[in-house]
Structure 1
Amino acid sequence: MSTLVSAEDFDYSELTRTYMGVFYSQKFDEFLNTSQTGFAHTSAGIELSLLLKSLYTSLCFCTFQLTLFSFFRSIFKVLYQPRSYCVPINERMEPLPKGFFSWIAPTLKYSINYYLSMGLDTYFFVRYVSILLLFFVFIGSLNMIILIPINITGSSDDYSASGLDKLSLSNISTSNVNRLNSHFVMGLITIGFFHWLLLYEFQSFVKIRQSYLLSDNHKESVLSRTLLISNVPPYLQDVDVLNKVLDVVPGGIRNIWFLYDFREIREEVQEAKEALYYLEYVNIKYLKRRLYSMLPVRLLWFWPFKPYVFKTGDMNEEGSKKSDIDKISFYPPIYLKSIKIPKIERYIRIRLPGFFRILLLEKPVPVVDWCLRTLAAKHRSIDNKKMLLAADQIKKHNKVFVEFNTQVGAYIAHQCLLSQIQGSLDSTIIEIHPEDILWDNIARNNTMACLLEKYFVSLMFIAIILLYVVPVSFIGLVSQIPLLTKLIPSLSWIYKLPEEARETISSLLPSILLATLTDIVLVVFRFLTYFKGNFTGSELEIDIQKWYFSFLFVQQFLVVTISSSITVIFKQIFDQPTSIPILLATNLPKAATFFFQFIALKAFSFCGNNFLRISSLVLYHTYYKLNDKTPRQKFNRVTNLLKIRWGSIYPVYSVFASIGLAYCIISPLIAIFVIFILSLSLLYYKYALRYIYSHINESDTKGRLYPVALLHLYTGVYCLECCLIGIFFLSKNDNGVCPMKIQGCIMCVVLLATIFGNITIYARFVKHFSYLPILSDKQYRNPEVVDRLKRRSKVEPEESNSSDNTKNDLYSNQNLLFLHPSFKYEYPKVWLPEDPFHISEYLINEIENQVAELTGGSTRGAIIDANNHRLKISITEAPPDYK
């Protein structure tokens, strides 16, 4: 028999008789005790042939997707290599060769140092995957070489595991229990190597982050010197007063931006932009109609090579045709007045489509007339708001952006308590990108209602993590075709399909639905995280990283691994923490084979789906062609490259690595599958980050996601240690004696040492996550340097405070960098495509004559092509008002 005691030998029902029984309900327990719990045990003991058969469909589909990607890559360059064509010339990447697989070798050879140009989050993610790959290649290979032969030969005449479990610790019988000493030694080596690598990476993180932040380019940037200060009392909301208060900070102040009430001007700008869209759209619609009627059929094939030039005598005729566009009518959109939710200080504004005016029995209005009147009115209103801003007559919120003259001064202010009064100037954020600010959150006051809202969202996160098993259990019905057809008789046609097709449906469909459900949860998490009141997108990414990792680890590892209900799991954690090793030791070994399949399927689906991007490919040929009605729309879609959100990417690989760590001793074969998915992921991200994703990331956290991701790996180490403790104390020989008690006790000490190490490492490095050293104390260890500094201090005169000369005109000289984007709105320029009859130029002149603010319209950069008897808009340059 096996050295391990099965889970059935333990009755966890006694846990319900403790104080936690106050919160326990039998109906609630039955509600959560779904078939998904412990689902991984169904894969225990399967043969290699069955594993390969289950992966065959995914492998074929992934190969097909990669083949299509290699073929389409050189055809749809805007989709698969946008950074080589859709960005300014000085930012473009050199296109890859056109060969079928010629993109692989150049992609792999890129050094990770290149990705520093895309921000610290990007660089450290590539480093994270690379380090994990190195770890599992080294320690995984070592464990496989040593432990797999021991496991295979660990059976006896009385007991032998089945299938792939022969390669794991589960194959060791009671007569060979002493072989667990090898697992004990390799466990110590694995844990020791993990901590060495972790310390090395933390030290490297500190050096790289500090070098990046202290570089000349970054040190001189406005972002490194600007501080957001919250809870500014009314008496300090004055430039002169605030400047005097902060004058104690070394270096002085350069700029101050108050947070003005932007709600009204934002609404005006939104309506003005929509009016501009309708104006350009209706003119282009009219232009196409005129071209269809004026272009000869033969010219459709040759224009613009032989353009027809407007004759002088045709101007009057065209002038009469100009009246046709004035007759085009529509129902304008309805903008309802903003509704304020007083306690939490949020506004809700509803925009209704124009067809609702039919219910009000209103008549349609001419499009051009409505657009011109709206633009003129909104521009006057926006100008008035700007004049009030210049006169400092707009309401201020209790936040302020302060730009210091030096980076050192900004960080000193960031690390100091700026006021003696509690609750005043007590919250600061540094390194904020102006385009990363969540304006609706930053405009709220820190009230008790806002604090309660934040904690309520956290409770919702916990509820989602715990109750996620409920919808998953319904998805599990899809894999049971007999039960599914009994519930939905109309699906009985499935039995007419071949058996292989039914097996494919029952295996693939649940995976697709689960992936979709997980994506929905991520969307919900992002939506709820916004309501936690984060001021910037970078703060939101840090928050989402922690919650999303918790969700993935609980649902993709614990729930499918442990054979008890979810309520029993948490009752056991709270009531009897010392029995956790027993729970893990009796459940983890049985789920090893499931994670082989799970990680391999994830690797195939990730590789195929992300490289091919089938949804983007379909949208590119369908929706986008119908939706791009103006050159401006098409330009914005093509040039606004995808931006990666690292807060939801890091946790995925932290979970994979944690699973690998938890099983690297129990079932060393897991290393092959972890290495496989890490290799494919590294290949994809090296390609995508260089050629697909935007190189600008406004929500860059300056690397703060990386140490959190490293600390998340401790969950895998704790699972490994607790499981080994349970195995060592439960393993018995033929005489019923437990010979591994000493090893179990030592592993308990290792667990305590790991906890101590975790706390110590965090306490040692946590300040380096957000702060910056202002002293280069290492050089002061050299006596020669100290003497040189002493001599210099005697001869150098004292520097005068240059900031005094600019105190009086701080406000008048400040730029608009940290003001709401609506205050930076400028008059737009109408952009119409060039046509062979110069109709667009005539339309632009007519518009400029009616609205004085619309000047400088242009047809440059856009042209109407006649392709296969269809008029198609092509973009060659940016809009005339593009900045």
Structure 2
Amino acid sequence: MSSFDNQHYEYRKLTRTYMDFFYSDKFTKFLNTTQTGSAHSSHGIDFPIFMKTMFTSICFCTIQLTLFCLLRSVFNFLYQPRCFCVPVNERMEVLPRGFVKWIIPTLKSSINTYLSLGLDAYFFVRFISVLSLFFLLIGSINMLVLIPINFTGNSAEFTAQGLDKLSLSNIANCNVARLNAHFIMGLLTIVVFHWLIIYEFQSFVIIRQSYLLSESHKSSIMARTLLIFNVPEYLQDEKVLRDLFHIVPGGVGNIWHVFDFERIEHQVAKAKVALKILEKSQIEALRRYYPFKWSNNPKAGQNKKKIKKLSKDVFFYPPIFCDLIRIPQIDRSFQLNLPGWLRIFTLQKRISTLNWALDTLKQSQLIIDEEKSKMATNQLKRHNKVFIEFSDHRGACIANQCLLSQSQGCLDKTLVEVHPQDIIWRNVSRTDGVGCKFEKYLVTILFISIIVLYVIPVSLIHSLSQIPVLIHIMPFLKWIYHFPEEARQTISGFLPSILLTILTEIVMVTFRFLTYFKGKATGCEVEIDLQKWFFAFLFVQQFLVVTISSSVTVICKQIIDQPTSIPILLATNLPKSATFFFQYICLRAFAFCGSNFLRISQLVLTNSYYKWKDVTPRQQFTRITSLPQIKWGTTFAIYSIYACIGISYSIISPLISIFIIFFLNLSILYYKYALKYVYSHINPSETLGRLYPNALLHLYTGIYCLECCLIGVFFLSKDSSGRYAMRIQGWIMTGVLFVTIFCNNLIYSRYLPYFSNLPILSDKPYRDNKKTDEPTPNSEDHHDHDHDHDHDHHEMTAANHTLLYLHPAFKYETPIVWLPKDPNGYTELQIQEIESKSDFIKGETSGAEVQITKFLKNLKMTISEAPPDYR
């Protein structure tokens, strides 16, 4: 044994010592169920069995799509809200009525039309479209070349089973020379991938800069405003700040300090609760009035007396507003409010709802006005963050790219393009001390722990998918045995998929919740951070663990003991899991298409729970006009992982391209429809396209898996004489792997400055003279984009400009009680009663109306305008 070998042995022994806990039998048994990936269970199934598994999903999806096509024109506010539930000048043209007449107009929508919805929406549609074209091109070539080679690659002594006959697994030792075709196609796939990545990065830079340098965007307040962190007290004086930035082009316009908002925020929350309770109580009185009217047939002159009598009967336990809970170690505070029924245990009596609501509104308004007065006279505490609006967008960009102070920890972080509604004020108000940093690192450790320990619930779900085990745990489910065998198999096949989907959603919500505690100042930062972590989670748990092993520890042990074994791990495990991913992608495609188009949960809630919950005009208006918003960080991550799976199997089992293309095209259809007609066109957490380059870089994970797997296949393959006939190809592919790593790093380094920064000099005239084919937005699309930005800019400017980047509580105004107009004028008398008891609360009935019939217990309410506070 040489000296080097001895040192290598000692190194392995040392790593075992450090990792001894992870090698212990107890820890391994705790995390493991089996030592092979669960995806291997689908190895070698036949096409009829595969289709039988898909049949139920196809049926469910067909039923859901049929219901969507039938209900689309009935529930317009649910399936086409952007045509009805937004201001008139922002509405989309209504799609033609008809069962399938919505499909062609949706598919004909140009990708460039989505620029008006923001760069994130545009680049997401582009991402799916580019992936679809990539798999269509590479998949078609690989299938035409490799499937015939794979299918005829068996021998009398060896043949694969089922769908694996179409994959690399079907090549026998005597036909190992056929792997040269896989080698060539692998190189072609890698070259095309890199061409695509470079082309898309270059296009990203051009489109993003064209968008951000448009006149409408440059003149917007967001483009000219900079959030500066860790501003010391001596620099918070406005004169000092203006002198400090006088060298910046255009100088400083407005300055917004981050004032202490906890007291005013608490009072605004109390006032909003009081207004909600007041309006609900008046609607409840209206419900009681009409049955009383019909039974007594009162005259018009008696109405006022009856109003007083009915109003006095509305008594309740008011909610309990607790004092602020502060944790100084991490500079956080929490507000805890308790339900009013807890007052029963302290033997308190009910009180008048009307009197309590008016008193609460008055007391809160006095404190709110006091806090506003303190802010105006600079008597409120200031936090160490400042928003500065520059007169020119170049000033904001230059200040954002400069090191603003020589002192470490002073003016050391800046954010530009911050949307006022996207600010996480609780994080902005914190001091970036040791406690905050500890909290940030603790959350990172929790993320890693969730990724590793996720195997425990997955293992439990895998066990529960076996009907005998499930019934043993829950004996009351014995009635399942009365079902036919095929039905039991269907339940057994669907149960883990449903439970895993629910579990993944829980993890996504948990990640989003925990990211808040990492101190991110805006939702935009949250989305960028979540994209990376959620992709890592999906890659480890829904690809590596499922494919290679049921435990992360098994993979880690193998890599630590012998890092060069990664290609062997992939080569021996990936081919066996191909059929599983055929099923998985199909199931996800059908489930995604059916559930997202139909929006079953919203459909059910709208026709049941919301009718009971939303009783006031304000609640109904808010519900109707609150359009759903996409969380782009997690959405990009989901499609990145599907693309990585497709790339990893593009040579091993090229048939996967069909399923990936099918899934991507269903997604294109849905998102083209939903982004135009369902989702809100205003996204406060807009990252201005920064998620797209991250998504492109994530695709390298799939390329690395493909290359490592091919390296393992080539080094392991023996011919009929037992000779390793593909070693040269293995070494060449190893070289390609290192070249790929170099290219990945080079591309990232070259384009990184363009992800967040804007150039001062522009070579656009020279580029236009060259007549390149880069995909720049057309004039029509720029018009749509400019119109929307002008509208947003006008809204921001029309609202009190001096309050724009202040906490929303400082913008709170005295509310107006909004009740619906009724046929007998009862609500008008209610408003008179309220105004007689309060000297500052007013009321209106315009914009909402109720229709009353003797045969209906519920009030039928019609909303025609926004609440008076919004007008």
- TM-score, normalised by the number of residues in structure 2: 0.93
* 1:546 lines up with 2:532 in the alignment: yes
Task: Mark the CA change 1:14 to 1:418 in structure 2 (over 3 Å): closer, same or farther.
Answer: closer
Does the 8 Å contact 1:255/1:814 carry over to 2?
A: no
Partner of residue 711, structure 2: 725
Q: Determine the C-alpha separation between the residues in 1 that align with 2:595 and 2:13.
A: 47
Percent identity over paired residues: 59
Distance change >3 Å, CA 820–CA 563, structure 1 → 2: closer
Task: Give the match for residue 791 of structure 2.
Answer: none
Letter in 1 for 2:93: E
SS at the partner of 2:346? coil
The answer (yes or no) to whether the contact 2:849–2:861 under 8 Å persists in 1 is yes
Deviation string for 1:259-285 (max 9, x for gaps)? Answer: 000000000001011111111111111
Does the alignment pair 1:32 with 2:31? yes
Following TM superposition, the consecutive aligned residue runs of length 4 or more in structure 1 with deviations greater than 4 angstroms are: 13-19, 777-783
Question: Could you say which residue in structure 2 is the equivalent of 1:56?
Answer: 55
Q: 1:324 is matched by which residue type in structure 2?
A: L
Taking the aligned partners of 1:78 and 1:288, their CA distance within structure 2 comes to 26
Query: Which whole-Å CA distance do the structure 1 matches of 2:412 and 2:658 have between them?
Result: 50
Q: 2:629–2:683: 8 Å Cα contact kept in structure 1?
A: yes
Q: CA offsets per residue over residues 188-238 of structure 1, 9 Å max, x none?
A: 000000000000000000000000000011000000000000000011111
Instruction: Answer yes or no: is the 8 Å Cα contact 1:37–1:566 preserved in 2.
Output: no
One-letter code aligned to 1:205: F
Distance 1:623 1:781, change over 3 A: closer
Equivalent residue number for residue 250 of structure 1: 249
- Whole-Å separation in 2 of the counterparts to 1:468 and 1:225: 44
In the alignment, what sits opposite 1:840? 827
Q: CA offsets per residue over residues 6-38 of structure 1, 9 Å max, x none?
A: xxxxxxx99985653365322111111124950
Query: Can you list the C-alpha shifts for 1:713-755, whole angstroms capped at 9, x where unaligned?
Result: 0000000000000001110101111111111111011000000
Letter in 1 for 2:524: S
Hey, what's the Cα distance between the residues in 2 that align with 1:326 and 1:612? 45
Describe the superposition over 1:73-126 as per-residue Cα deviations: whole angstroms up to 9, x where unpaired: 111111111111111111111111111111111111111111111110000000
What do residues 615-661 of structure 1 show as CA deviations (whole Å, max 9, x unaligned)? 11110111000001211001001101101100110111101100000
Q: Distance in 2 between matches of 1:595 and 1:412?
A: 48
In 2: Cα distance, 1:154 partner to 1:354 partner: 74
Question: Separation in 1 of the partners of 2:309 and 2:34?
Answer: 69
What SS does structure 1 have at the residue aligned with 2:850? Answer: strand
By how many angstroms is 1:56 displaced?
0.6
For residue 148 of structure 1, report the CA deviation from its aligned partner: 0.4
Question: Is residue 866 of structure 2 the alignment partner of residue 875 of structure 1?
Answer: no
Q: How many pairs does the alignment contain?
A: 828
Shift of the alpha carbon at 1:569? 0.3
What is the DSSP-based 3-state SS (H/G/I as helix, E as strand, rest coil) of the residue aligned with 1:359? helix
Deviation of the 1:845 alpha carbon: 2.1
Question: Residues of 2 paired with 1:14 and 1:420: CA distance?
Answer: 47
2:28 is the counterpart of 1:42: no
Shift of 1:563: 3.9
Summarize the Cα distance change of 1:487–1:374 in structure 2 as closer, same or farther, 3 Å threshold: closer
> CA 1:38–1:421 in 2, change beyond 3 Å: closer, same or farther?
same
Q: Deviations over 1:691-723 (max 9, x none)?
A: 111010000000000000000000000000000
The yes-or-no answer on 1:373 pairing with 2:372 is no
SS in 2 for 1:99: coil
Secondary structure of the residue aligned to 1:869 is coil
Deviations 1:806-854 (CA, angstroms, capped at 9, x unpaired): xxxxxxx961000000000011111000011111112112222322222
Q: Does 1:599 align with 2:598?
A: no
Deviation at 1:779, TM superposition (A): 5.2
- Report the alpha carbon displacement of residue 564 of structure 1 after superposing the two structures with TM: 6.7
Alignment of 1:433-444 (within 5 A): 433-444=419-430
CA contact (8 A) 2:320 2:337 kept: yes
Residue 414 of structure 2 corresponds to residue 415 of structure 1: no
Q: Distance in 2 between matches of 1:498 and 1:782?
A: 68
**Unaligned regions of 5+ residues in structure 2, if any?**
1-11, 770-799
- Compared CA separation, residues 236 and 642, structure 1 to 2 (3 A): same
Aligned-residue CA RMSD (Å): 1.9
Once residues 22 and 722 of structure 2 are traced to their aligned partners in structure 1, the CA distance between those partners, rounded to angstroms, is 39
Cα distance change on mapping 1:837 and 1:754 into 2, 3 Å: same
**Residue 573 of structure 2: SS of its match in structure 1?**
coil
Q: Which amino acid aligns with 2:864?
A: T
Q: 1:778 to 1:834 in 2, by over 3 A?
A: closer
1:454 aligns with 2:453: no
Residue 636 of structure 2 corresponds to residue 670 of structure 1: no
- Residue equivalent to 1:288: 287
Pairs within 5 Å for 1:451-600? 451-563=437-549, 565-600=551-586
Whole-Å separation in 1 of the counterparts to 2:373 and 2:35: 62
Q: How far apart in 2 are the matches of 1:504 and 1:146?
A: 35
**Residue in 1 that maps onto 2:774:** none
Q: Does the Cα contact within 8 Å between 1:93 and 1:691 map onto a contact in 2? A: yes
Q: Secondary structure at the match of 1:247?
A: coil
Q: Does 1:748 align with 2:748?
A: no
Paired with 2:40 and 2:282, the residues of 1 have a C-alpha distance of 64
Distance (whole Å) between structure 2 residues aligned to residue 701 and residue 29 of structure 1: 42
Q: Where does residue 650 of structure 1 map in the other structure?
A: 636
780 and 47 in structure 1: CA distance in 2 versus 1, 3 angstrom threshold: closer
| Equivalent AA in structure 2 for residue 261 of structure 1 | D
Amino acid at match of 2:123: F
Pairs within 5 Å for 1:66-465: 66-295=65-294, 314-315=300-301, 317-465=303-451
Q: Secondary structure at the match of 1:130?
A: helix
Which of 794, 801, 808 aligns to 1:821? It is 808
Q: In the alignment, residue 838 of structure 1 is paired with which amino acid?
A: G
Name the CA distance, whole Å, in 2 between partners of 1:49 and 1:599: 17
Distance 1:239 1:14, change over 3 A: closer
8 Å CA contact 1:20, 1:575 repeated in 2:
no
Which letter maps to 1:633? Answer: Q
Contact 2:21 2:27 in 1 (8 A): no
* Cα separation, 2, equivalents of 1:233 and 1:416: 18
TM-score by length of 1: 0.92
Q: Distance in 2 between matches of 1:537 and 1:19?
A: 39
Q: Distance in 1 between matches of 2:27 and 2:381?
A: 51
1:661-700 to 2 correspondences below 5 Å: 661-700=647-686
CA distance in 2, matches of 1:767, 1:576: 37
2:45 aligned counterpart, secondary structure: coil
Q: Which runs of 5+ in 1 are unaligned?
A: 1-12, 298-307, 784-812
For 2:117 and 2:763, the matched residues in 1 are separated by 30
- Counterparts in 2 of 1:781 and 1:164: CA distance versus 1, 3 Å: closer
Q: Which residue of 1 aligns with 2:747?
A: 761
Specify the alignment match of 2:19 in structure 1: 20
- 1:847-868 Cα deviation digits (max 9, x unpaired): 223222223x211111112365
Aligned-partner Cα distance in 2 for 1:37–1:752: 29
Structure 2 counterpart SS, 1:133: helix
- Partner SS for 2:817: coil
Give the whole-Å Cα distance in 1 for the aligned partners of 2:112 and 2:303.
63
Counterpart of 1:882, as a letter, is Y
Separation in 2, partners of 1:317, 1:175? 98
After superposition, the C-alpha distances for 1:260-312 in whole angstroms (9 at most, x for unaligned) are 00000000001011111111111111122112232589xxxxxxxxxx9x9xx
CA shift, 1:596, in A, is 0.5
1:175-196, CA deviations, whole angstroms, 9 ceiling, x for partnerless residues?
A: 1111111000000000000000
Describe the SS at the equivalent of 2:256. Answer: strand
- Give the aligned partner of residue 793 of structure 2: none
Provide the C-alpha distance between the structure 2 equivalents of 1:690 and 1:95, rounded to a whole number of angstroms.
11
Kept in 2, the 8 Å contact 1:545–1:647? The answer is: yes
**Residues 138/241 of structure 1: CA separation in 2 closer, same or farther (3 Å cut):** same
Pair 1:147–1:421, CA change in 2 (3 A): same
Aligned residues of 1:18 and 1:575 also touching (Cα < 8 A): no
AA partner of residue 55 (structure 1): M
Give per-residue Cα distances to partners, 1:136-188, cap 9 Å, x unaligned: 00100000000001111111111111111110011111111111110000000
Give secondary structure in 2 for the equivalent of 1:619.
helix
Q: Does the Cα contact within 8 Å between 2:643 and 2:702 map onto a contact in 1?
A: yes
Contact 1:379 1:853 in 2 (8 A): no
AA in 2 matched with 1:375: L
Closer, same or farther: CA 36–743 of 1 in aligned 2, 3 Å:
closer
